[in-house]
Homo-oligomer: A and B are copies of this chain.
Amino acid sequence: MVYMSKALPKRSENYSEWYNEIVKRADLAENSAVRGCMVIKPYGFAIWEKMQRALDDMFKATGHQNAYFPLFVPRSFLEKEEEHAEGFAKECAVVTHYRLKANPDGKGLVVDPNAKLEEELIIRPTSETVIWSAYKNWIQSWRDLPILINQWANVVRWEMRTRIFLRTAEFLWQEGHTAHATEEEAVEETHKILGIYADFAEQWMAMPVVQGVKTASERFAGAEDTFCIEALMQDGKALQAGTSHFLGQNFARSFDVQFVNKENQLEYAWATSWGVSTRLMGALIMAHSDDNGLVLPPKLAPIQVVIVPIYRSPEDLAKISESIEPLIGALKTAGLAVKYDDSDNQRSGWKFAEYELRGVPVRLGIGMRDLENGTIEVARRDTLTKESRPIDLVSPDSFVAGIKSLLDEIQESIYDRALRFREENTFLVDTWDEFKEQIEKGGFIMAHWDGTAETEEKIKEETKATIRCIPLVSDEMAGKCVYSGKESAKRVLFARAY
């Protein structure tokens, strides 16, 4: 690969190009030859694996288990829950045949018309229907409940306009599907998961989120209530980062999943479903990165510390490599993901830029003079600052302890910066003129709304702003709807969104 010395586009000049270029040049992913589908490259996938591991641990710690359900949804299953069917029918990849054959009229392969399926199969856009058709056989008594299952899977939604990571025809996600004996317990589960998502976003991704509930028109197709976490991107647009649905008894009814409750009566089971996807990769990039490239929170960085030797001769390199062996060992022992880049085909300056682009949180540079002086250069990716630190190369434990706290500090500092950005870009707006003006500039708008779908729709039509959520935590101060002037009990969160 030839190194593209060309600088990245600036966020302020072309945000969208900046995003695409970071995805490409940090080697995270690329569009594939298949329309709307992406290839997640090793460096991008390593970040996703770290996300998966953290979330999976959190799910398991709260009693959830993983399982796997079929990729295919029979057409008749999708039909069963009406709203759900309506929501997903328009973007389904449909399998109609199960065989190809040699083209009788020439070269290549054609669909074999004799291998038509009796009933078409949809590639799962989400798995409620397949899973509830299985749960029917698993649930007879309240003793069989709760069922707390999660699956890591690929899903397909045939979107017309796709955007790498943010909206792709195929994406990877986890989908939790739980069944409960009581409404109360299902509601509690919905909130518990929302809390896990918020913790993950804030503590791992260093991305502050607003927890809230969707309006009826933004609900998941088939849900009674959809809860979400919403994050603010650097261009002032909102990104929905995870959703947790209270499904009531809708799917239990559609699939006739009844159980004998403690009062010995037949009752439909109560359901939740919840998911986050590779969309989080897009959120991660857009929340923190800068005009020099990716900025990764240390907890999700595939390489947390990179060591770059600075040398002229092979002898110097050999000397440096030997001297830092204990350091590399100590960093690994401390549980850090460290890379020593002694490749000889690029200069150290090129390497510096490359690891900056890839968002490695801490870079250590060490040259011959450092060896003499017992120092090492420590560079922070988030602030782009560097300093020379003393190091005892023979027993580097105290230096390593310093690097560990530095990584914690970076994790916190990235979060703080994103939080500050959100605070500076959240606006209490009380008039319609102000609303229209502010929405053009971006940011979160907290405004009163009269609670009607009509007003919500009109605001969307006129400004492209949607109600991202009704925040769970907010000042319960009454006011007048910013659009209609009617009564409103509290402010809701508006923004333009990805």
Contact = CB atoms under 8 A, between A and B. Distances in A.
Given A45-B65, A109-B85, A38 B91 contact: no
A156 B123 CA distance: 12
A162 interface: no
Interface of A is mostly: mixed
A117 to B, nearest CB: 9
A170 B108 contact: no
A2 to B, nearest CB: 8
A71 B37 contact: yes
A409 interface: no
Nearest to A107: B79
B94 A67 contact: no
A303 to B, nearest CB: 12
A99 interface: yes
Contacts of A123: 71, 95, 123
B46 A65 contact: yes
Contacts of A77: 33
Contacts of A406: none
A430 B143 CA distance: 60
A82 B26 CA distance: 36
The size bracket of the interface on A is 35 or more
Contacts of A143: 345
Interface in A71-130: 71-79, 85, 89-102, 107-109, 111, 120-123, 130
Contacts of A78: 100, 109
B98 A95 contact: no
A49 interface: yes
A90 B100 contact: yes
A34 B75 CA distance: 11
A33 B74 contact: yes
Interface in A269-293: none
A129 B85 CA distance: 33
A99 B158 contact: yes
Given A123-B95, A140-B1, A149 B108 contact: no
Interface string A13-52: 0000000000000000010111001111110011011000
A32 B72 CA distance: 10
A45 B67 contact: yes
Pairs A-B, 9 closest by C-beta atoms:
A42-B65, A37-B70, A89-B100, A40-B68, A98-B158, A94-B97, A34-B70, A79-B108, A96-B96
